[in-house]
Amino acid sequence: MHAYLSLENVGMEFIRGNTKSVVLKDVGLKIDRGEFISIIGHSGCGKSTVLNIVAGLLRCTTGGVLLENREVDSPGPDRAVVFQNHSLLPWLTVYDNVRLGVDKVFGKTKSKAERHEWTLRNLSLVHMDHAIAKYPEEISGGMKQRVGIARALAMEPKVLLMDEPFGALDALTRAHLQDSLMEIQTTLGNTVIMITHDVDEAVLLSDRIVMMTNGPAATIGQVLDVPLKRPRRRLELAEDPTYVHCRGEVLRFLYERHRHVEAA
């Protein structure tokens, strides 16, 4: 039985002049369909590199990524990315930003009316149907990220890749978006890989948390199962022993076993 998505011995080296720097080494991970995976680690450990390799935006130097047994060698809408700083196109409205991807992916399979319908449906999924005619600079940071999620979801990806999607948002907005994401996840059952450096976010959202060691030559240090039942509610979880245990495990990994050594 093959995994839905598998990373096999993924390694990444950069050669600049005579110096060879190894960023990633032997990253191996199997992910099932519908799983929500978080990748957590200190900054600079190569989390984003892993995500970009799965996205196809970077080619790994050793090993490979298989999605439904096909090798990933270029970017594509089946692995839609939610970028950290939303990257909405400022000259397009909220609607047109989402529609651009919809037209590209479903241009041949859906009629114009169906694509319009589908764009609106994805925008209402992230509660942004009230602002479809607005331009990105007219809406808040949280709203932009919602539109970014809608754009990715509207491409109906096999795997949704999120690169610290809520990193730039304030705590309250972040909580709102996490709740929205859980709600969407319950409805659609997407396979998700999310990069984060927020321990609570990782425990709250994930089925499994992948913890990465510090670079150079970073790799997976530990994979933690989060056996919390869904739907999860943040208020009830605060005192849940399983939640507290998982949270403690991640914190111990990050701050005891793989403490980030600050460059002095």
Interface residues with other proteins (CB under 8 A) are: 55-57, 74-77, 79-81, 83, 85, 87, 89-91, 93, 100-101, 104-105, 135, 137, 155
DSSP label of 219? -
Cβ closer to other proteins: 89 or 171? 89
Nearer to other proteins, 52 or 196 (CB): 52
CB of 79 vs other proteins, minimal distance in Å? 7
DSSP 149: H
Nearer to other proteins, 104 or 259 (CB): 104
What pairs with residue 31 in β-bridges? Answer: 5
Q: Which is nearer to other proteins, 4 or 135 (CB)?
A: 135
Own/partner pairs, 238-245, CB within 8 angstroms, 24+ separation: 243/203
- To other proteins, the closest distance from the beta carbon of 90 in angstroms equals 6
CA–CA distances in Å: residue 84 to residues 87, 126, 162? 8, 17, 8
What is the CA angle 150-155-156, rounded to 5? 100
For other proteins, the closer of residues 85 and 222 by Cβ is 85
Q: How far is the CB of 91 from other proteins (least distance, A)?
A: 4
Structure tokens at 61: 């130097």
Shortest spacing between CB 69 and other proteins, in angstroms: 21
Q: Please count the CA atoms within 13 angstroms of the CA of 241 that sit on its side-chain side.
A: 0
Question: Three-class SS of residue 55?
Answer: helix
| Nearest distance from C-beta of residue 38 to other proteins, angstroms | 21
| Nearest residue (CB) to other proteins, 87 versus 222 | 87
Q: Closest approach of Cβ 179 to other proteins, in Å?
A: 26
Cα torsion 245, 250, 256, 258 to 10°: value is: 160
- Cα–Cα distance for residue pair 34/28, rounded to 1 Å: 19
